[in-house]
Amino acid sequence: MARILTVSSQRAGAYPTIQDALEVAADGAVISIEPGTYTEAIRVMGRRLTIKAAKDPGSVTIDASEAGGSAVAAARAEITLEGLVLKAGDYPAVTASNTRLTISKCEASAGYAAGVSITDGGQVTATEVRVTAGQYGFVIEDSGGVLDKCEVRGISDDGIIVRLGANPTIRNSTIAGCGYRGIYVYQAGRPTIERCDISGTGDAGISAAHQSSPTITDSWIHDTSGVGIAFGRGCGGLVEGTRVESTASPAIDVEDGATPTIRVAEDTAGAPKVGATAAEGLASQDTEKVDKLLKELDSMIGLGGVKAEVRALIDEIQVNEWRRSAGLAVGGASHHLVFTGAPGTGKTTVARVYGQLLKALGVLPGGEFKEVSRRDLVGQYIGHTAEKTTSVFEQALGGVLFIDEAYTLSRSAGTSADFGQEAIDTLVKLMEDHRDKVAVIVAGYTGDMANFLDANAGLASRFAKTLEFENYSPDELVLIVRRIARNDDYLLGEGLDEALLEWFGQIERDQNFGNAREARKLLEGMRKVQSGRLRALGRMPSRDDLRTLVLDDLLGATR
């Protein structure tokens, strides 16, 4: 059990200052602070500690305004801050460098600096954190993590800055009254921004620059002096389900050379429930969205058994939610799944749709999709793997964690196997501790996945069901080729259907057969042959020539 050190300026026997407690605290200790104001600048280097208010959140203030530094500064550490008011002058109120920072129910303010700064490969989990003053709210640089139900208000410059490849998830948060931009993403930043309320900015609500690619979903951007969302040259990303209202024109500004995907929000009455104060209302079911996603699933070629299994799972979840709303008993349910089968059979696509279905049913708040493999989970030395696996798992909270080729983690899967086993053991515990907050889907070849599930005594029991993805039939592969061709504005010429059916009927289907990947690869080969054929015509090809693939293109691609 962690040792608790009590700090109080009034109580006899307690440590009079936080610094006094820090000097004797061992790794893993909890420093519990009695109500009051402590004029200190805390430094935590290479240690693992919790610093928390002993009473109600907000009852303890750490004020470093005159101390010439941050209220809390951590480097190469693992630190948890709970229930504190953190103040600084022209330094960030909280600085975390190469540190795992967990901060909840805290308030931060600074002068000409950020409220909270996370840099140099750090990881942050911030929940119900308010930044009320400063040049910036949050600065996340070369780092990741989650900001959930946070508020940034009254900032003189940018509300949140994401830069140097940082990839945090910012969700259920409110950014309002910032002097410049609400969220500024640059230098290849890749944040996910979900269900956020951004308003009252002096410039753009969200601005992306320098090869950045933000994903912006189900948010509300309104009443900004600048445009709602701006994408600079070279930027990509996604805007979906997001309302942009009462901003400068255009609402979404895309410069030449920018390539974001923009899907306009459906015109629903009133503003969506977003931001820090609306998070508690996320559990309602969106039956219209559920029906739309199930139709999307049905439109996939083949996979009859998989579709039936997913529908059965969704039916059960939906009925359970109805029972819960009616005050009836509902048993605990796991949303973790095993997908087995050869590559190219739609496992990743089905996993994405499943996550969105859970979101629409109010089961998972985010529905976001994080795909990882062995290298994302396994470290290079003892203890490193548990840290990497935990970090990846925390980033996926609220959505789907999809582990492809999961069998490579088991002991029987080659070199450095013990580190893979460490990842499995860590996942087993995390999946149980957070069973209602994430859906873990593991995927791989059928036989290999059986060995994977045997790698830990409790692993198989964590998964609700195994879904078997069968190889596509020759007929289905022809349909896949036709669909890909149609989407790419190509037509299949006379006799090509029959020739494709014959080709797919005789091709060897060993463990390396790629299914839909084989179909796409074949089509790419046919297009290359077509290009050479058209170049040899000696004339400008017609529109039909450019669109039509013929039997000779297939013969050339398969020769």
Give a three-class secondary structure readout of 281-343: HCCCCCHHHHHHHHHHHHCCCCCHHHHHHHHHHHHHHHHHHHHHHCCCCCCCCCCCEEEEECC
Q: pLDDT band at 408, cuts 50/70/90?
A: confident
Q: Is residue 454 located within the same domain as residue 541?
A: no
Do residue 321 and residue 429 come from a single domain?
yes
52 inside domain: no
User: In whole angstroms, what is the distance from residue 484 CA to residue 476 CA?
Assistant: 12
Whether residues 496 and 542 fall in one domain: yes
Let me know: does 471 contact 509? Beta carbons within 8 Å: yes
pLDDT in tens, 339-350: 888 777 888 888
The model's pTM is 0.54
The whole-number average pLDDT for the span 244-262 is 95
The reported pLDDT for the residue numbered 59 is 92
The last residue of a domain, from among 441, 469, 497? 469
Instruction: Measure Cα distances from 517 to 52, 402, 510, 522, 559 in Å.
Output: 52, 19, 14, 8, 18
How confident is residue 164, by pLDDT bands cut at 50, 70 and 90? very high
CB-CB contact of 462 with 526 (8 Å): no
DSSP 153-215: ES-SS-SEEEETT---EEES-EEES-SS-SEEEESS---EEES-EEE--SS-SEEE-SS---E
- The yes-or-no verdict on residue 270 having pLDDT over 80 is no
Percent of the chain at pLDDT > 90 equals 44
* Mean pLDDT, residues 90-119 taken together: 96
Is 393 in the same domain as 378? yes
The Cα 367–Cα 354 span in angstroms is 8
Rounded distance, CA 2 to CA 64, Å? 27
The CATH number linked to 397 is 3.40.50.300
The reply to whether 489 and 459 lie within a common domain is: no
43 falls within a domain: no
Confidence of residue 268 (pLDDT cuts 50, 70, 90): very low
Judgement on whether residues 432 and 397 belong to the same structural domain of the protein: yes
In this structure, are 410 and 497 located in the same domain?
A: no
In 445-544, DSSP assigns E strands to 465-469, 491-492
Local confidence band at 121 (pLDDT 50, 70, 90 cut-offs)? very high
- Give 421's pLDDT tier (boundaries 50, 70, 90): confident
Based on the structure, what is the number of domains in the chain?
2
Residues 336 and 422 in one domain: yes
For CA atoms 379, 383, 385, 391, the dihedral sign is negative
| pLDDT score of 265 | 63
On whether the CB atoms of residues 504 and 301 are closer than 8 A, the answer is no
More confident: 180 or 339: 180
Q: Are 368 and 241 in contact (CB under 8 A)?
A: no
Residue 518 lies in a domain: yes
Domain boundary among 452, 469, 486: 469
Residue 229, strand partner residues: 206, 252
Model confidence over 461-514: pLDDT tens digits? 788 788 888 878 888 888 888 888 888 888 888 888 888 888 777 877 666 666
pLDDT of residue 210: 94
Average pLDDT over residues 370-393: 81
Is residue 26 a part of any domain in this protein? no
> How does pLDDT run across 145-163, given as a tens digit for each residue?
999 999 999 899 999 999 9
Residues 462 and 480 in one domain: no
Residue 415 placed within a domain: yes
Q: What is the pLDDT of residue 342?
A: 77
Asked if 537 and 520 sit in the same domain, the reply is: yes
Same domain, 421 and 521: no
The overall average pLDDT reported for the chain is: 86
User: Domain ends where: 444, 469, 494?
Assistant: 469
Residue 442 lies in a domain: yes
- The per-residue pLDDT for range 16-53, each reduced to its tens digit, is 999 999 999 999 999 999 999 999 999 999 999 999 99
Q: Does residue 34 form part of some domain?
A: no
CATH of the domain at 551: 1.10.8.60
Task: Determine the length of the chain.
Answer: 559
For residue 130, report the phi and psi dihedrals to the nearest 5 degrees: -115, 130
The answer to whether residue 316 is domain-embedded is: yes
Give me the phi and psi of 68, to 5 degrees please. 70, 35
Contacts of 462 (CB under 8 A, 6+ apart): 334, 336, 428, 431, 432, 435, 440
Domain coverage including residue 421: 287-469
**Is-contact 192 170, C-beta < 8 A?**
yes
